[in-house]
Homo-oligomer: A and B are copies of this chain.
Amino acid sequence: MTDHVVEALPGIFRLIDLVGVLLNGVLGGIIARRKRFDLVGFAILAITSALGGGMLRDIMLQAGPPVALTDPLYLATALLGAVVAFLLPLGGRWWTRLYVVGDALVLGCWAATGATKALSEGLGLLPAVLLGVMTAVGGGMIRDVVVGDVPTIFGGNTLYATSAVFASLAAIGLADVGQNTVGMLVAIIVGAGLSIAARWRGWRLPDA
C-alpha cells in the first residue's frame, strides 16, 4: 500500500466504527418501534444495540470505565440513531440493504478491536477471540434478551458470530507480528466478506 492509504486507515476505521454505532442505534430504534416502546425505550435499545458489546468487553477487561462512556462521540451517535429511527419509518428494503452492508463492515472492525484490546491486557488466545466476538455480537444479544426475544446469534442466522470468530483470529494473527493496522483491515475484509457471502448463499452452521 502507498503511504497515503496507510495514513488514512485509522481515520477510516474510526468512521466505520461510528457508522456501526449509528446503524446499530437506528436498528435498536426500529425494534423499539416494532415493540411500540416510547422514547425512553428507543434510547435504551439504541444504546444497548450500539454500545452493549463494547460495554460488556470493557466490564470484563476491568481496565477503567467502558470506552462507550469515556469517548464523547459514542453515546451521542447511538442516541442520534434512536432519534432517526423515531422520526423516520425505516425498516424497508433500502434500509435493510444499507444496514447489512454497514453492519458487515463493522462486524470485523469491532471483533478486531475487542480481540486486540484483550491481548494488550495480557489475556490469551481463546479469551481474546471470546472478547472479539462479544464486542461484535454482544450488543445485539443483550438487546434481544432485554426485549424478551431469544438471541438470533444462537441459531438460524447466517454465520454472524462465526464471521466474528474468523475476523478476531485474523486480527490476532497480524497483531502477533506487530501489524495492528493491517490486522484491522484484514479483519474488516474477512468479517464483511464472510458474513455477506454467508447471507447471499444462505450458509448456516450445523445444529446438533
Contacts and interface: CB of A to CB of B under 8 A. Distances in A.
Interface of A: 29, 32-33, 35-42, 44-45, 47, 55, 59-62, 64-66, 69-70, 72, 75-76, 79, 85-87, 89, 118, 121, 123-124, 126-127, 130-131, 141, 145-151, 153-156, 160-162, 204-208
Interface of A is mostly: helix
Given A60-B65, A148-B148, A154-B44, A38 B204 contact: yes
20 contacts: A32-B208, A35-B154, A35-B155, A37-B154, A38-B155, A38-B156, A38-B204, A40-B153, A40-B160, A42-B208, A45-B154, A65-B121, A65-B123, A70-B127, A72-B126, A75-B126, A89-B208, A145-B145, A145-B148, A147-B154
Contact of A55 (B39, B60, B160, B205): B60
How many monomers of this chain does the complex have?
3
Contacts of A75: 126-127, 130
A156 B79 CA distance: 20
Given A40-B161, A42-B208, A75-B126, 14 more contacts: A36-B207, A38-B155, A39-B162, A39-B206, A40-B205, A44-B141, A59-B62, A60-B65, A60-B66, A65-B127, A75-B130, A76-B126, A85-B208, A148-B149
A126 B78 CA distance: 11
A70 to B, nearest CB: 7
